[in-house]
Amino acid sequence: MIRRLLVSTTLIAAISLAAPVLTSTASAQVASKPSAPLVPAKPKKVLKYLVAPDIDPKRLLPPPPVDGSAMALADLAELHRIIAARTPERLAQAQWDDGHEDASAFNATVAAGFDVAKVPMTAELLEDVNVDAGLAAAAAKSLFARKRPWAVDPTIPTCDPNDAPLTSYPSGHSTRGYAIAMTYALLIPEKAQAFMSRGADYAYSRQVCGSHYPSDTAASQALAAALVATLVKNPEFQSKLEAARAELRVGHYTGQ
């Protein structure tokens, strides 16, 4: 019995002595294990020239048609007609437009081979307009919370199945596109009609994609017009507009 007690006591003592070493080793292993890299959060976009009252959707847009109303049903019927009539080529254009939510969508309208990235003052101005228009559209989407066409009618195909279902009105792409088109019309007035036509075609792509109703993109045009009308009164915008126009003049993209 005494011998057993002595053995047990010896084992307990040995374990007690080893415990700090084991704990230390385990801690060292945990400490040496590389931690997963932190993914930085995307910086929150802020208005560049406009202020919150300038983009208040309650002041700038009427509400969309009510679900199930005659206007909403007509909207849906027109969208079905557009989708049924689309060609593979027009769908491919709509898909390309879907992936280019910035001024690059208007490169070919400026000139063959034109790249807005190579005219930095123009690129900066147009991206600032893009940001302000995008934030204005987002504010309106949040207020009106209209269901996307495919959320109302599952037979509607879409280029954007991962879009939030309550973000149909107005179209963000179209608001950005119309605002950029209108700004380009100020920069290169001799091509104003070409830019406005491209803006309308870019907006039509949202219907071809099944992402928006016709009334969504019509609201986008009205919203963009209101925004640009406010922008042209902003001294900073005016200054950058003149600098961008001078840059385009040097590149022989405008004679104005």
CB atoms within 10 A of CB 160: 17
State pLDDT tens for residues 116-154. 999 999 999 999 999 999 999 999 999 999 999 999 999
What pLDDT sits at residue 4?
Answer: 41
CATH class assigned to 65-250: mainly alpha
pTM over 0.95: no
- Whole-number Å distance between alpha carbons of 187 and 182: 9
- Whole-number Å distance between alpha carbons of 125 and 88: 34
What type of residue is 154?
P
- Whole-number Å distance between alpha carbons of 28 and 221: 62
| pLDDT band (50, 70, 90) for residue 35 | low
User: Contact, 64 vs 149, CB < 8 A?
Assistant: no
**Percent of the chain topping pLDDT 90:** 82
Q: Which helix H or strand E contains 244, and what residues bound it?
A: helix 235-250
What pLDDT sits at residue 61?
Answer: 98
Q: Write the CB contacts of 191 (distance below 8 Å, at least 6 apart in sequence).
A: 109, 110, 184, 185, 254
Is residue 25 pLDDT above 50, yes or no? no
What pLDDT sits at residue 220?
Answer: 98
Return the closest-CA partner of residue 102 out of 77, 69, 124, 78: 124
